[in-house]
Each structure stands twice: as structure tokens, then as C-alpha cells.
């Protein structure tokens, strides 16, 4: 099956990619949300569960997986969008946020805080 740009959807907003020459240029962008298309999030090899976030062992590490890159191993994933593909990293951030929000709630005991002067006043 020949990959055509009309088979692709933007990884960020889900809009079909139309009239984009293949292979995708590093500078290709979604016409709706202006997100870069030559990004790890749109690649077949993207895997947030791995330490290097990539199933291609020869690929160089990319620090920002949402930004355009020059990866030679990039192969766009047909029909992929952020709506259909949740990333583990987002789940981990939510878990951390809930962890720290529970700490903040438990620290609130209803007592009014004392000022430093009251705590360390000399008799």
C-alpha cells in the first residue's frame, strides 16, 4: 500500500493531512493547528513506554517529541491522532499531580498558621 498524505491525520488535532508531498518534509505542518508533522508522535516507531520512547534502536534520542526533527527513521503512522493514542507520560503526570494534591489537602488541618514571632518569642 502506497502511503499518501490523504491517509494521514494530524497527531495533535486529528485533522486529515491533505496535499502534503510525501515523504513528509521536516517543515511540514498541519493546516488547521499548525503543529509540525515530522514529529515522533506521528511516527510508527513512537513508544512512550520505552525509556528512549522509540522502537527503532538505531534512532537518535529526541528531547521534544512534539517538535519537528530530522530523524532518518521517521515513518508516519496512518490514521493516528492524539485523541486515539494516549501516552503513558500523560498518565504519569496525572498520577503525580494527584499525589501532590493529596499531600496539600492532608497538610490543611484547619489550624491557623503561627507567625515566626509567635513560634520563637522569648519570654
**In tens digits, what is the pLDDT along the chain, a chain of 123 residues?**
445 555 788 888 888 888 888 888 899 999 999 999 999 888 988 887 776 778 888 888 888 888 998 988 999 887 665 444 545 456 667 777 787 776 555 455 555 566 767 777 776
Cα–Cα distance, 123 to 120 (Å, whole number): 9
* Domain presence at residue 121: no
Cα–Cα distance, 35 to 115 (Å, whole number): 50
* Domain presence at residue 20: yes
Q: Counting every residue, how long is the chain?
A: 123
Total domains in the fold of the chain? 1
What letter does residue 47 receive in the DSSP assignment?
-
Cα–Cα distance, 65 to 32 (Å, whole number): 20
* Domain presence at residue 99: yes
Instruction: Report yes or no: 11 and 41 within 8 Å, Cβ to Cβ.
Output: yes
* Domain presence at residue 98: yes
* Domain presence at residue 100: yes
* Domain presence at residue 123: no
Domain span at 98: 1-104
* Domain presence at residue 109: no
Residue 105 has what pLDDT? 55
Residue 1 has what pLDDT? 43
* Domain presence at residue 110: no
Cα–Cα distance, 77 to 75 (Å, whole number): 6
Amino acid at each position: 500500500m502506497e502511503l499518501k498524505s490523504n491517509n494521514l491525520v494530524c497527531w495533535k488535532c486529528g485533522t486529515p493531512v491533505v496535499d502534503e508531498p510525501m515523504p513528509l518534509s521536516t517543515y511540514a505542518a498541519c493546516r488547521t493547528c499548525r503543529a509540525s508533522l515530522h514529529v515522533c508522535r506521528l511516527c510508527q516507531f513512537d513508544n512512550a513506554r520505552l525509556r528512549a520512547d522509540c522502537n527503532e534502536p538505531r534512532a537518535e534520542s529526541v528531547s521534544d517529541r512534539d517538535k519537528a526533527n530530522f530523524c532518518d527513521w521517521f515513518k508516519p503512522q496512518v490514521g493516528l491522532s492524539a485523541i486515539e493514542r494516549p501516552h503513558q507520560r500523560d498518565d504519569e503526570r496525572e498520577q503525580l499531580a494527584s499525589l501532590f494534591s493529596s499531600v496539600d489537602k492532608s497538610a490543611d488541618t484547619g489550624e491557623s498558621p503561627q507567625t515566626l514571632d509567635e513560634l520563637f518569642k522569648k519570654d
